[in-house]
Structure 1
Amino acid sequence: MSKFAELVERNPWRRNPWFETVGEAQRRARKRLPKTIYSSLIAGTQAGITVTDNVEAFNELGFAPHVIGATPERSLATTVMGQEISFPVLISPTGVQAVDPDGEVAVARAAANRGTAMGLSSFASKPVEEVTAVNDKVFFQIYWLGSREDILARAQRAREAGCQGLIVTTDWVFNVGRDWGSPEIPEKVDVKAVARLAPEMITKPRFALSWIRDGKLIVPDLSAPNIAHKGEPGPTFFDVYGTWMNTPPPTWEDLKWLREQWGGPFMVKGVSRIDDAKRAVDIGATAISVSNHGGNNLDGTPATIRVLGPIADAVGSDVDVLLDGGIRRGSDVVKALALGAKAVMIGRAYLWGLAANGQVGVENVLDLLRMGVDSSLMGLGKADVHDLSRDDLIIPDGFERSYGA
């Protein structure tokens, strides 16, 4: 560590590294990160209708608490895709976590330390083998990219690395335009890219210093090592993206084929319709994620919490139903569970924690959500997350959306 970095770390006026809300993690991430990088963490397509609704819809749901009946101890543990986890929050797969030098490895350690599972993106910046080395509850996420042989090879590599399940993301529409501007992501970190980002980096010294260890600069890796064969250099994100855009979208027969080839726990991610949920059951999926890609797909898609209940009612007895999108508090988790979810997956929340304080920041976010789940259960007089139901909620008329029935 340089002398300047030591002075920064020893500064007695530095804020407490612990943050008390996910909103504070976001504020610190925004303060610490260069503008371009932070913009990529809040991205949503077009007008951002869906990304906004994902968050704000939770505020429309109320609780119906009991004043007597709280139990002294509450059980938060559950099982998702055959994996026992300490509380019903998992890490959702997100690509290229270059807001911290350790990226996905730091997130995997944090999840393991808190007893939960992690979804690892096929666009991750760290090889799957490095991630499974620190967390034995990893689900590998796949996009339908390239030929069947290419896709199966990535799945087999994940299996050999020790991944416990497969997540197939199905809801991407290649619309990355935003009304408020999209961040320009360099193809690789070279002299040209550094020069372009230098004005932003100069104003964010703590972020810049975090990439210097033992006097050496760690160059952020913007490649996709899990798209390549083990041991081979990964292609750039833009090379992958070009191939992806030119790959025909999967059919239900394609997904059934991959599920059969994989032979283990299998999640279809991106479901928002009842008929699609039933088709996932028909092909033998183990789980579905009610998801709209965090608002990064077809803008105008309803918030996931609005469509969760009808989907869970239709297929919840056949598959594990998860939700992702808009989770910011433990009370949000409890609302999703009361509407039929087995667990939730978080994306932006843990990325803000990672940006704010590395692995410890991710653990901080998970701790906040765990405490929020526990206190919500206490207020509702529940001893176990599995005891939650619609009766614990006040659901306004017209809140839920049901289509595809």
Structure 2
Amino acid sequence: MARDTWFETVAIAQQRAKKRLPKSAYSSLISASEKGVSVSDNVEAFAELGFAPHVIGATEKRDLATTVMGQDISLPVIISPTGVQAVHPDGEVAVARAAAARGTAMGLSSFASKPIEEVTAVNDKVFFQIYWLGSREEIAERVQRAKDAGAAGLIATTDWSFSHGRDWGSPKIPERMDLKTMIKMSPEVISKPRWLWSFGKHLRPPDLRVPNQGRRGEPGPTFFEAYGQWMGTPPPTWEDIAWLREQWPDAPFLLKGMVRVDDAKRAVDAGVSAITVSNHGGNNLDGTPAAIRCLPAIADAVGDQIEVLLDGGVRRGSDVVKAVALGARAVMIGRAYLWGLAAEGQTGVENVLDIMHGGIDSALRGLGKASIHDLTADDILIPQGFTRALGIPAR
């Protein structure tokens, strides 16, 4: 990677993304619900945790490799599914290539801007993410399409509410990029010539359709058309989750969005392979605690039965180490890689994964650990009152 495009931290990737993107596009990458309490807590909670390092005993080499839902990965970090990655012309395909180049897996959103077939063609470790949207027949068709495309498994996301009303205003995302919209947005876009040229040289504007919500080979609905259909679909029940699991019983199935122990136990009963402890990156119900605060109780309750992952607020490799030490098999990153994608495309995403790898390795060295699997809660300093054990019956 050229040194003039290299960035040393995720914070710098965010700065470059902000500098490069039109204001509305950048705003969509930092959006949260209401006051932003949960998104802030996701990040700040990691800083409350400390380490208990050894000064002697570091090994010459550290092993970062692990497995997630049957997939061998080079580090305990995978790509979280995020919708419409049209901040770069190659979108999800660039992200999939970067993940493959760094030996890790990718979650692909059903609201992605690229068809699943194009993404699985460049990365064979893709988990297809589904929202409970439309009829069972329509959902089953999307599952079958994922099977046919070679997806490695499913992710069902349920932690997404109608909570928005952002205190700083919602990003202005157009319905579609037609001529009228492009003229209206031209004052905002013309000040970002590098971003404009990245799409101009391909002779196409950002595509705001979501092809994986449509039939194979069709362009699919716009993001807001699909969003409207989701709003009109009754929320799933636990019976619906069990039914969805049955549609692909031989593949790994991850249920995304746990913060409560009782929900995690119900997920086990529904037959899932894995869960993520998550508040949807702060885009769900504001005031939900940081995922890392909820992780220990959930890992203690179900970690010996299913794989437990975490997402929300991960910005550095040391955050990953804290999560793994407190019971996570791996973490999923979202905003971090999107900033890398916006800043430098595929190489920017690779850069972010390299930052994570380097930070994990450094933390393991400081803790005197030979492997990511050697971490325990004893390696972490947890302040009194830090954790949140939600959904445990009072005695």
Shorter-chain TM-score range = over 0.9
Contact 2:143 2:247 in 1 (8 A): no
Looking at structure 2, the residues matched to 238 and 22 of structure 1 have their Cα atoms a distance apart, in angstroms, of: 30
Q: Which residue of 1 aligns with 2:342?
A: 355
Aligned mate of 2:364, from 365, 374, 377: 377
Give the AA of the match of 2:257.
Answer: G
Aligned mate of 2:272, from 279, 285, 289: 285
Q: Which residue of 1 aligns with 2:89?
A: 101
Per the TM alignment, residue 196 of structure 1 is displaced from its structure 2 partner at its CA by 1.7
Secondary structure at the aligned position of 1:211 is classed as helix
Give the AA of the match of 1:97.
Answer: Q
Please say if 1:275 is aligned against 2:262: yes
Q: Deviations over 1:167-196 (max 9, x none)?
A: 000111122220010011111101111112
Please say if 1:152 is aligned against 2:118: no
Per the TM alignment, residue 22 of structure 1 is displaced from its structure 2 partner at its CA by 0.3
Please say if 1:117 is aligned against 2:118: no
Q: Deviations over 1:2-47 (max 9, x none)?
A: xxxxxxxxxxxx9810000000000000000010000000000000
Q: Deviations over 1:261-301 (max 9, x none)?
A: 11110000000000000011111110000011100000000
Please say if 1:338 is aligned against 2:325: yes
Looking at structure 1, the residues matched to 103 and 219 of structure 2 have their Cα atoms a distance apart, in angstroms, of: 32
Secondary structure at the aligned position of 1:249 is classed as coil
Aligned mate of 1:323, from 291, 310, 313: 310
Q: Which residue of 2 aligns with 1:126?
A: 114
Looking at structure 2, the residues matched to 27 and 238 of structure 1 have their Cα atoms a distance apart, in angstroms, of: 28
Please say if 1:53 is aligned against 2:41: yes
Q: Which residue of 1 aligns with 2:31?
A: 43
Q: Which residue of 2 aligns with 1:244?
A: 230
Looking at structure 2, the residues matched to 261 and 19 of structure 1 have their Cα atoms a distance apart, in angstroms, of: 43
Looking at structure 2, the residues matched to 353 and 64 of structure 1 have their Cα atoms a distance apart, in angstroms, of: 31
Per the TM alignment, residue 212 of structure 1 is displaced from its structure 2 partner at its CA by 2.2
Looking at structure 2, the residues matched to 195 and 174 of structure 1 have their Cα atoms a distance apart, in angstroms, of: 30
Looking at structure 2, the residues matched to 383 and 233 of structure 1 have their Cα atoms a distance apart, in angstroms, of: 48
| CA RMSD in angstroms, aligned pairs only | 1.0
Give the AA of the match of 1:281.
Answer: V
Q: Which residue of 2 aligns with 1:256?
A: 242
Secondary structure at the aligned position of 1:209 is classed as helix
Looking at structure 1, the residues matched to 390 and 113 of structure 2 have their Cα atoms a distance apart, in angstroms, of: 37
Report 1:150-189 matches (<5 A).
150-189=138-177
Q: Which residue of 1 aligns with 2:216?
A: 230
Secondary structure at the aligned position of 1:187 is classed as coil
Looking at structure 2, the residues matched to 176 and 47 of structure 1 have their Cα atoms a distance apart, in angstroms, of: 9
Looking at structure 1, the residues matched to 263 and 130 of structure 2 have their Cα atoms a distance apart, in angstroms, of: 18
Q: Which residue of 2 aligns with 1:192?
A: 180
Secondary structure at the aligned position of 2:211 is classed as coil
Give the AA of the match of 1:373.
Answer: I
Q: Which residue of 1 aligns with 2:205?
A: 219
Q: Which residue of 2 aligns with 1:9?
A: none
Q: Which residue of 2 aligns with 1:90?
A: 78
Per the TM alignment, residue 220 of structure 1 is displaced from its structure 2 partner at its CA by 1.2
Please say if 1:398 is aligned against 2:381: no
Looking at structure 1, the residues matched to 173 and 89 of structure 2 have their Cα atoms a distance apart, in angstroms, of: 17
Q: Identify unmatched segments of 5+ residues in structure 1.
A: 1-13
Give the AA of the match of 2:289.
Answer: P
Q: Which residue of 1 aligns with 2:253?
A: 266
How much identity, in percent, do the aligned residues show? 71
Q: So what's the TM-score if we normalise by structure 2?
A: 0.98
Secondary structure at the aligned position of 2:284 is classed as coil
Looking at structure 2, the residues matched to 42 and 252 of structure 1 have their Cα atoms a distance apart, in angstroms, of: 31
Secondary structure at the aligned position of 1:302 is classed as coil
Aligned mate of 1:203, from 186, 191, 206: 191
Contact 2:163 2:286 in 1 (8 A): no
Looking at structure 1, the residues matched to 211 and 164 of structure 2 have their Cα atoms a distance apart, in angstroms, of: 23
Looking at structure 2, the residues matched to 97 and 177 of structure 1 have their Cα atoms a distance apart, in angstroms, of: 22
Looking at structure 2, the residues matched to 159 and 105 of structure 1 have their Cα atoms a distance apart, in angstroms, of: 18
Q: Identify unmatched segments of 5+ residues in structure 2.
A: none
Looking at structure 1, the residues matched to 184 and 231 of structure 2 have their Cα atoms a distance apart, in angstroms, of: 27
Q: So what's the TM-score if we normalise by structure 1?
A: 0.95
Looking at structure 1, the residues matched to 372 and 46 of structure 2 have their Cα atoms a distance apart, in angstroms, of: 18
Q: Deviations over 1:109-139 (max 9, x none)?
A: 0000000000000000000000000000000
- Quick check: 114-123 or 191-200, which moved more? 191-200
Secondary structure at the aligned position of 1:84 is classed as strand
Aligned mate of 2:290, from 303, 306, 310: 303
Contact 2:41 2:290 in 1 (8 A): yes
Aligned mate of 1:136, from 107, 124, 127: 124
Please say if 1:76 is aligned against 2:64: yes
Secondary structure at the aligned position of 1:210 is classed as helix
Give the AA of the match of 2:235.
Answer: P
